[in-house]
């Protein structure tokens, strides 16, 4: 039965085997980039029967895919732009993930949209939300509901009375973006894909004008090899143009970047439980419940510096504080902030000929024989983007490729989840943990909960909370190393668990205990373990310092001067 099954493990041994395979096997498809787009493409391709490799230079979701607003959504702002097709597609994908593919990860989220103008705004918004509901927004969640000012203040008592005249309640969904991408990749591995982090593409091999191979570097050990495949997929998001330069091909679109910053504050600063949406002059400001916290953001400013570590600045934080404080009674201050993160949106621009699909916000193009580039879009439509990419790559695959089947492929942990969610009290009793902990685990691992807790049969200390992070169990940190492909301390503290944004020590107080727990699994001696802690701590300190700077330039300078867990191999000399 699914709930007692074990899953494919991504860990140190698997990374070694993958490296060996890369040097000698021939793949139908080699995907460069392990963000949401690369992950969606890998799952789509593997479940169509292709032999797939995924190369990720950092960690899974180490780029934009761990730094989003964490919603699967139709995108109300696309409705305002009259892009109905895009909204309908987002809503369809949201429904599919929430109800079938990943109900353990994608959760319904109650939002309110405060109305600020009398007379015209309510009927205007009502017709917009009616369209949203009709296009699929109210399939398995309630449809819009309208409230007076009094009703709104009951739902969200922290709002200023003069900030609204009433409001509309609607639903979207919440997801831990990094965990979702990692789970999609693990599901692809379950269907045979070979997946490896710490693997950077630094050059390409060609036969005349066809791309036939890629030179790769293990960013942990420095060793190199060459991987061969029928088609390579450039799924590197904001690094799209760099890969095309490496391949010496002229892209059919270009990717530029805009920075979006979020802050994280404790729940106590704003009474209430529902998410809020405000329209600002530059973007939309979301206030999203996240466990014991609120995530508030975002900003939207051009960014042309360090892609790997975009720096949030004091100006970004001031912008968010100024806008939220205009709406709430209890003013939020710097002292309330426990976490800050910045992400870069991959924005696609360029030609739109018949081989380039720019119509749905993401772009897919065969840029050379054997090389397909894909970028843009949003997290919500990762599955559709994956299917479009595999379709575009068919031309380079020397056999018939069947149609996409991912609408029917639940992610790891989804199978059996609903039944387990109905048995929380019994599970708590059986597993010897609190009901709250069972719920926490089910929402992160779904039906893999038994696999996560299995080592605790022999070592009860794994059921203890992580020192400095009481919401998480030591067993989860171990599982990140044994099954979830974490290769560095940063991967565990930042993305397998979200400690670096949820605690004001930013994960530093957990580093000692977690690194000791996983040292054997990771193969770290004492020197390597201490180095892991140092690199992680230095990055946290640098980001905290950068957050006090007013300009992007000065903040970037601070972040750029700190060593990365996996420093990029500089390929600029080769061009």
Question: Which positions touch ligand FAD (CB under 6 A)?
Answer: 32-38, 55-58, 61-65, 67-71, 73, 200-201, 235-239, 243, 260, 298, 343-346, 375, 377-380
CA 86 – CA 73 distance, rounded (Å): 11
Q: Which is nearer to ligand FAD, 241 or 439 (CB)?
A: 241
Nearest distance from C-beta of residue 18 to ligand FAD, angstroms: 13
Q: Which is nearer to ligand FAD, 238 or 456 (CB)?
A: 238
CA 191 – CA 386 distance, rounded (Å): 15
CA dihedral of residues 462, 187, 16, 478 (deg, nearest 10): -10
Nearest distance from C-beta of residue 28 to ligand FAD, angstroms: 18
In order of 176, 279, 406, 442, the CA distances from 416 in angstroms are: 20, 39, 18, 11
Quote the distance between the C-alpha of residue 175 and its chain's center. Answer: 8
- Rg of the chain over all Cα atoms, to the nearest angstrom: 23
Residue 89: partners with Cβ closer than 8 Å, 6 or more residues away: 360, 381, 384
Nearest distance from C-beta of residue 53 to ligand FAD, angstroms: 11
CA 324 – CA 286 distance, rounded (Å): 9
Q: Which is nearer to ligand FAD, 12 or 245 (CB)?
A: 245
Q: Which is nearer to ligand FAD, 236 or 277 (CB)?
A: 236
CA 474 – CA 132 distance, rounded (Å): 42
User: Does an H or E element contain 430, and which?
Assistant: helix 424-431
Nearest distance from C-beta of residue 251 to ligand FAD, angstroms: 14
Nearest distance from C-beta of residue 457 to ligand FAD, angstroms: 35
DSSP string across 486-514: --SHHIIIIIIS-HHHHSTTTTHHHHHHH
Nearest distance from C-beta of residue 111 to ligand FAD, angstroms: 12
Q: Which is nearer to ligand FAD, 34 or 339 (CB)?
A: 34
In order of 108, 125, 138, 169, 499, the CA distances from 151 in angstroms are: 21, 17, 21, 11, 35
Nearest distance from C-beta of residue 323 to ligand FAD, angstroms: 15
For helices 508-522 and 474-482, angle between their N-to-C axes, nearest 10 degrees: 40
Nearest distance from C-beta of residue 431 to ligand FAD, angstroms: 33
Q: Which is nearer to ligand FAD, 177 or 451 (CB)?
A: 177
CA 4 – CA 449 distance, rounded (Å): 9
CA 467 – CA 151 distance, rounded (Å): 41
Q: Which is nearer to ligand FAD, 135 or 466 (CB)?
A: 135
Q: Which is nearer to ligand FAD, 230 or 299 (CB)?
A: 299
């Amino acid at each position: 039965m699914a709930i007692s099954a074990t899953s494919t493990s991504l860990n140190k041994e698997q990374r070694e085997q993958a490296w060996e395979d890369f040097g000698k096997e021939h793949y139908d498809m080699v995907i460069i980039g392990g963000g949401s787009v690369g992950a969606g493409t890998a799952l789509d391709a593997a479940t169509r029967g292709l032999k797939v490799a995924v190369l990720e230079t950092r960690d899974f979701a180490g780029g934009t895919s761990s730094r989003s607003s964490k919603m699967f959504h139709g995108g109300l702002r696309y409705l305002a732009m009259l892009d109905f097709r895009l909204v309908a597609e987002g809503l369809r994908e949201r429904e599919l993930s929430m109800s079938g593919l990943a109900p353990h990860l994608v959760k319904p989220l109650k939002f309110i949209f405060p109305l600020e103008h009398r007379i015209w705004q309510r009927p205007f918004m009502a017709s917009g939300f009616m369209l949203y509901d009709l296009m699929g927004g109210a399939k398995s969640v309630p449809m819009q509901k309208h409230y007076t000012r009094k009703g709104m203040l009951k739902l969200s008592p922290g709002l200023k009375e003069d900030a609204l005249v009433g409001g509309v309640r609607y639903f979207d969904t919440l997801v831990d973006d990094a965990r979702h991408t990692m789970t999609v990749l693990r599901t692809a591995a379950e269907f045979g894909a070979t997946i490896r982090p710490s693997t950077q593409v630094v050059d390409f091999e060609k036969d005349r004008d066809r791309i036939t191979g890629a030179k790769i570097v293990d960013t942990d050990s420095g060793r190199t090899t060459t991987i061969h495949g029928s088609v390579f997929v450039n799924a590197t998001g904001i690094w799209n143009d760099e890969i095309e330069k490496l391949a010496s091909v002229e892209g059919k679109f270009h990717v530029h970047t805009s920075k979006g910053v979020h802050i994280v504050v404790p729940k106590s600063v704003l009474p209430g439980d529902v998410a809020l949406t405000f329209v600002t002059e530059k973007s939309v400001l979301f206030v999203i419940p996240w466990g014991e916290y609120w995530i508030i953001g975002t900003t939207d400013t051009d960014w042309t510096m360090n892609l790997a570590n975009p720096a949030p600045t004091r100006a970004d934080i001031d912008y968010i504080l100024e806008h939220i404080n205009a709406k709430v009674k209890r003013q939020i201050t710097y002292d309330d902030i426990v976490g800050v993160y910045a992400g870069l949106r991959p924005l696609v621009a360029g030609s739109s000929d018949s081989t380039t699909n720019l119509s749905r916000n993401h772009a897919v193009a065969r840029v050379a024989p054997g090389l397909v580039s894909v970028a843009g879009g949003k997290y919500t439509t990762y599955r559709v983007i994956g299917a479009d990419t595999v379709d575009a790559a068919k031309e380079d695959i020397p056999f018939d490729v069947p149609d996409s089947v991912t609408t029917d492929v639940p992610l790891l942990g989804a199978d059996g989840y609903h039944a387990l969610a109905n048995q929380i009290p019994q599970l708590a009793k059986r597993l010897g943990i609190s009901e709250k902990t069972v719920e926490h685990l089910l929402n992160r691992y779904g039906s893999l909960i038994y696999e996560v807790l299995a080592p605790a049969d022999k070592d009860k200390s794994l059921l203890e909370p992580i020192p400095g992070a009481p919401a998480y169990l030591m067993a989860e940190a171990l599982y990140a190393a044994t099954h979830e492909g974490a290769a560095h301390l940063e991967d565990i503290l930042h993305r397998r668990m979200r400690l670096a944004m949820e605690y004001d020590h930013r994960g530093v107080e957990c580093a000692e205990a977690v690194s000791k727990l996983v040292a054997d699994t990771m193969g770290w001696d004492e020197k390597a373990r201490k180095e892991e802690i140092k690199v992680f701590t230095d990055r946290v300190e640098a980001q905290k310092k950068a957050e006090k700077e007013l300009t992007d330039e000065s903040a970037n300078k601070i972040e750029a001067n700190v060593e990365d867990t996996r420093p990029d191999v500089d390929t600029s000399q080769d061009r």
